[in-house]
Amino acid sequence: MESLSLLPSKIKSMKLKNRFIRSATFEGMADFEGRPTQKLKELYCNLADGGLGLIVTGLAHVDGYKNLPDIKGLPFPLAIDEDRFINDWGDLIEEVHIRGAKIAMQISHLGRQDIPHLREPVAPSAVQLENSGSVPRELTFNEINELIEKFAQSCRRVKEAGFDAVQLHGGHGYLISNFISPYFNIRNDEYGGNTENRARFIVKILEKARLLVGHEFPILIKMNFDDFIKGGLKKDEAIKIAKIIIEAGIDAIEVTGGTSSNNPLHESAKGITDEKDEAYFVSYAKALKNHVSIPVILVGGFRSLTVIDKLLTDGIVDFISMARPLICEPGLIKRWKDGNIKKAKCISCNKCKENISKQSLRCYIDEPLEQA
């Protein structure tokens, strides 16, 4: 197959064999402490065999839950908040590398979307989202500085574990995206108010992280360019924030949008059946690309190679990121590479997402929940 998508490229020092990225996708395949399991290792090996250039893990907590009950089968999240987890990743990373792919870890704090019965939701401000959830507790100034340290130390652990890069989760209404959003962040100290102040949480994470990981280790961010909330973050301000954080040391930006707790359909839109519905955040990527020179990664609704090739050829994006199509077909890129360029099998039904709190990640097209 002749396609620009298959040409090698790089993000800072990280060389990738093609332009395809597996976007961070919560797998619920950690053990009860947040360690990777054999099942997770097999998933990443399948994705690497499937031809991806880069795999981004599902979100890993920088401040993990403690003492979760050890109930077999529950979809537990990854954690990277303690040094004892560093050595758990070597084998898995090696297996991915042997298969020719690179692997990054996504690090996150759920903030106001934390699970109330496990931990009190916290946020830059005690702002309730209209018709949605409880009011989170406002973080104190000291707590914010502690969280910055936790993010930075987690970047260090990701590097020490052997990952090729780290990605900050700055989207979907979780803690980092709450800081940059004018709706969720109404603080009046140095972490709130104007655009520079709202970007400061990320800037400080980068300053601290760079001291720990150096300047060569790639630090990526997946970031909201629209909260899709009245009074929330919008494109023009997101671009200003992007410029600030690039100056502070971000190496690539993955464009996303939406807030999981009230409008998950913006983040993972349903019913992508027509090419015209694909790449639904492309206008944001296009606008960003006009202002920055670091790689722009786009996620959201890619299903066909013609759409992908057009955006790469037109220079609108540098990398293509996908989540749901790869749950359905971990070998999708290899299939395309081998010449079967039929569009992805994924029908964007979102059952993978709707059932993620009940059981670990899988596709429901061929095996509906009732028969599982």
Ligand X SMILES: Cc1cc2nc3c(=O)[nH]c(=O)nc-3n(C[C@H](O)[C@H](O)[C@H](O)COP(=O)(O)O)c2cc1C
φ/ψ of 172, rounded to 5, equals 65, 20
Asked if residue 322 binds ligand X (CB under 6 A), the reply is yes
Binding residues for ligand X, how many (CB under 6 A)? 25
CB of 101 to ligand X, least distance (A): 17
Asked if residue 127 binds ligand X (CB under 6 A), the reply is no
**Which of 58, 64, 136, 257 touches ligand X (CB under 6 A)?**
58
Please give the positions annotated as active site.
174
Asked if residue 337 binds ligand X (CB under 6 A), the reply is no
CA distance to 125, 196, 235, 318, 319, per residue, from 241 (Å): 19, 7, 10, 20, 21
Distance between CA atoms of residues 362 and 351, nearest Å = 9
Distance between CA atoms of residues 203 and 188, nearest Å = 18
Q: Which residue has the tokens 């020719």?
A: 100
Asked if residue 23 binds ligand X (CB under 6 A), the reply is yes
List, as one string, the DSSP characters of 219-258. Answer: EEEEEES---STTS--HHHHHHHHHHHHHTT--EEEEE--
List, as one string, the DSSP characters of 26-69. Answer: ----B-TTS-B-HHHHHHHHHHHHTT-SEEEPSPEESS---S--
Asked if residue 175 binds ligand X (CB under 6 A), the reply is no
Site stretch for ligand X (CB under 6 A), options 2-10, 23-31, 236-244, 283-291? 23-31
State which of positions 80-109 bind ligand X (CB under 6 A): 106
CB of 23 to ligand X, least distance (A): 4
Asked if residue 227 binds ligand X (CB under 6 A), the reply is no
Asked if residue 324 binds ligand X (CB under 6 A), the reply is yes
**Which of 169, 200, 204, 289 touches ligand X (CB under 6 A)?**
169
Asked if residue 360 binds ligand X (CB under 6 A), the reply is no
Asked if residue 323 binds ligand X (CB under 6 A), the reply is yes
